[in-house]
Amino acid sequence: MVNVGARTPEQVRLAQDFVRFAVEAGVLRFGEFKTKAGRLSPYFFNAGLFDDGNKLGRLAEFYAKALLASGIEFDMVFGPAYKGIPLAATVAVELARQGRNVPFAYNRKEAKDHGEGGTLVGAPLQGRVLIIDDVMSAGTAARESIALIRAAGATPCAVAIALDRQEKATENGRDVEHSAVQYVRQQLGMQVCAIATLADLLLYLSQKEGAEMIAHHERVLAYRQRYGVNQG
């Protein structure tokens, strides 16, 4: 049995529904893919392929449900450029639809020197700020967002991501014994809400029939055994 952590049955069900949706949408694919760390991964999650209104709307619904179920307290949402911008906007819309209306903001990569100027767009950064992104590979985007939020006088409180790969991060070209998510939790003191994890993907694959799915499960499991982090 794959350990998916201490979550409610509803949260586990939400994660399984999300994995199924991501696979059916072609966002989560199987094969051989080279990661930023130079590893050959048997699966690839490309949030950029949530590329139409229906898929983006469903993705936002998963984020909102996961956040509301997590119990994380936040006053507004922030989307780091670039992928985080549409995510923050659509999640804010979905949260409002589900009865939790909060402001949102995002940053530009380059400061604007005309009009309102600056790098920040949207609501003023204040209170407890939730950062929304797709995945967390090295935690770089999270650190940059945290610095920006603190510089504005607000408090970065948590990060929401779609998928936690639960694998070792790399530092100076070497594997370390923690993941980017664990680094953000343990070293930066931030909460992290992931809609689904690698463990959820393994659980999904273990429940599928057919030689192809069994082979995918074996390869993903072998990858986790080699690069996975201790979740204890």
**Residues that are catalytic:** 112, 114
Q: How many Å apart are CA 134 and CA 164, to the nearest integer?
A: 9
User: 229 to each of 37, 48, 55, 177, 223, how far by Cα in Å?
Assistant: 15, 26, 30, 6, 11
Other CB atoms within 10 A of residue 72 CB: 17
Task: Report residue 35 CA to chain centroid gap.
Answer: 16
CB distance 149 to 125 below 8 Å: yes
Helices 53-70, 84-97: crossing angle, 10 deg rounding: 70
